[in-house]
């Protein structure tokens, strides 16, 4: 089935807001580890013929992938869950030393009304860990904030060669529940 650009957005659809902001920033690469919180954005990018969507086996693979995209003159984004940030800590040194644009969108777990205790340690440490590695962070807990924060982070990453992350809070993405 051929891919086509998805342009329909519903009011309050923050996944569509992310897609449209990143398209307006000429993002051509999306690297991700599958995640329910990002599923709407992932589907839109996968349906877009102008974007290379790459499924990663582990989150840190996305950092050198985006470095390569940048060397080729193209822009990309890394989508992951907060639990994957711990996997990226050492690889973030690549961005520190090579100074390329790194934009990450991170859905939070272990953040608000978390049912899975295994998500709590990294969820609580995500923002501090990123900041310790020199990543600038912003947090969105309301759908109305997402587009503006992603646009601002993208501008700082792509125009200033910075590492930037927008944390998409659990109150934004919704409480997780055990499927019984």
8 Å CB contact between 49 and 75:
no
pLDDT in tens, 58-110: 999 999 999 999 999 999 999 999 999 999 999 999 999 999 999 999 999 98
Better-predicted residue by pLDDT, 5 or 94: 94
Task: Compute the distance between CA of residue 115 and CA of residue 83 in angstroms, rounded to an integer.
Answer: 14
For residue 121, what pLDDT is reported? 84
**Alpha helices for 32-140 (secondary structure H):** 39-46, 62-71, 85-88, 92-98, 120-132
Q: Give the tens place of pLDDT for each residue, 105-160.
A: 999 998 888 788 888 888 899 999 999 999 999 999 999 999 999 999 999 999 99
Whether pTM exceeds 0.85 = yes
Domains, the chain, in order of start with CATH, read: 14-173 (3.40.50.970)
- Whether 82 and 46 have beta carbons less than 8 Å apart is answered as no
């Amino acid at each position: 089935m051929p891919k086509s650009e998805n342009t329909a957005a519903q009011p309050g659809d923050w996944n569509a807001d992310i897609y449209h902001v990143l398209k307006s920033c000429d993002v051509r690469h999306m690297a991700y580890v599958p995640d329910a919180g990002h599923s709407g954005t992932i589907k839109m990018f996968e349906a877009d013929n102008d974007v290379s969507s790459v499924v990663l086996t582990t989150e840190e693979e996305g950092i050198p992938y985006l470095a390569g995209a940048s060397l080729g003159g193209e822009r990309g984004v890394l989508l992951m869950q907060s639990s994957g940030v711990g996997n990226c800590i050492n690889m973030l040194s690549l961005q520190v030393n090579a100074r390329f644009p790194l934009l990450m969108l991170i859905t939070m777990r272990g953040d608000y009304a978390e049912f899975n205790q295994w998500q709590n340690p990294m969820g609580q440490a995500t923002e501090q860990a990123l900041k310790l590695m020199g990543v600038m962070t912003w947090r969105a807990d309301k759908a109305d904030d997402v587009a503006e924060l992603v646009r601002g982070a993208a501008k700082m990453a792509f125009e200033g060669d910075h590492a930037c992350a927008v944390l998409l809070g659990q109150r934004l993405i919704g409480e997780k529940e055990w499927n019984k």
